[in-house]
Structure 1
């Protein structure tokens, strides 16, 4: 497993987001050279120095410090959309190769490069800004009647948000090593399904314990208290 690129935002104002001032950082491009991974609470919302979070109400923070997406999944979407999708186009900070990102377990820890350690915390959910970024606000050519967010949700391969466990420095070409896999079965994909199309799975995601992102944990607890017998 390795890191193909580290992608940083090129912030701009657009008409397809509800963020203050229309500012979005979803347009991310591969960085030249090393990028510093910052400690939790360092400010700015992103775990990468030089990155920008346009809508801090819904994005960024310690549980969403870094977003990873697999190049293999981007290749699959290239076939669906019928066009090239460069690294960073989904707004991901890390474009990986050889890693089953959506199959990673909540709480799984990755070492990237010599000293950076990241921990899988939650799943990315699609939004209007994501669809606008791709120019897919309407109908996909291969999915009659289905918009981008519906198609992305159906695939249930959303990529993973990670928190910073140990800051350091990363760059394209770095090896990704799994340091720890928790003793449960809550993958990023399962969590995503629980939060979107299969909410009856929400009690199961609590098996991830404290590694689960705070917002997802709160949602699972509320559902379980209301509906679980």
Structure 2
């Protein structure tokens, strides 16, 4: 694996007409080494802190191969950073387990959750139905917490370390988030995994409703 791009977004208005919002989703590649902290990347705008950012979702990572797939599907180039990813990685697996780690430059990241698309992504793509297409594609990208802070730069090799304690996969979490009648055991397994706090809280509420 290799880090293709490091991306940062500023708060700006996106969309058109009545469908506008202020967001930092439209991230752009930046040059040189960038310091990755437990709170993310310097200068990267988080416009809805109740839903985005924070230590458990400090860094959003998307696969360069998945961008190539989307470009083919949509018939136009979808560049790194379009989906709001901070790091674009070539060779990123389609699925990871919660707790799997990536070492990039001096930084160590730990996978915590898949990206669940919101209306801002649809606005960014200029397609009200894009959220559904994103869900069906099951190429969500992944959120990470920062285990070790440090500098990263485009071109850095990326190494992978599997969570040796066993865990739940990102795609299973992605599907579970959408499940109308989730199984209690699946929810319990997810809650016990080292997932992001927001997703854990969501599953705790769902488990209470099931029980």
TM-score relative to the length of structure 1: 0.83
Quick one: distance in 2 between partners of 1:170 and 1:201?
40
Kindly tell me: are residues 199 and 84 of structure 1, through their superposed partners in 2, closer, same or farther at Cα, counting changes over 3 Å?
farther
Query: Which of 83, 93, 97 is the aligned partner of 1:105?
Result: 97
Query: 1:118 aligns to what?
Result: 109
Quick one: distance in 2 between partners of 1:171 and 1:202?
42
Deviations 1:25-65, CA, capped at 9 Å, x for gaps: 0010111111111135xxxxxx1112111211211111111
Query: 2:210 aligns to what?
Result: 227
For the aligned residues, what is the CA RMSD?
Answer: 2.1
Quick one: distance in 2 between partners of 1:199 and 1:111?
37
Alignment of 1:122-161 (within 5 A): 122-137=113-128, 147-161=129-143
Corresponding position: 1:76 with 2:74: no
Deviations 1:5-31, CA, capped at 9 Å, x for gaps: 010103212357xxxx94210010111
Structure 1 runs (4+) deviating above 6 angstroms are none
Deviations 1:205-225, CA, capped at 9 Å, x for gaps: 543525111121122223223
Alignment of 1:180-191 (within 5 A): 180-191=162-173
Corresponding position: 1:32 with 2:24: no
Quick one: distance in 2 between partners of 1:72 and 1:116?
22
Kindly tell me: are residues 199 and 2 of structure 1, through their superposed partners in 2, closer, same or farther at Cα, counting changes over 3 Å?
farther
Query: 1:95 aligns to what?
Result: 88
Structure 1: segments with no counterpart, 5+ residues: 41-46, 138-146
Kindly tell me: are residues 154 and 32 of structure 1, through their superposed partners in 2, closer, same or farther at Cα, counting changes over 3 Å?
same
Quick one: distance in 1 between partners of 2:114 and 2:10?
23
TM-score relative to the length of structure 2: 0.90
Quick one: distance in 1 between partners of 2:168 and 2:180?
14
Quick one: distance in 1 between partners of 2:181 and 2:90?
30
Quick one: distance in 1 between partners of 2:79 and 2:2?
17
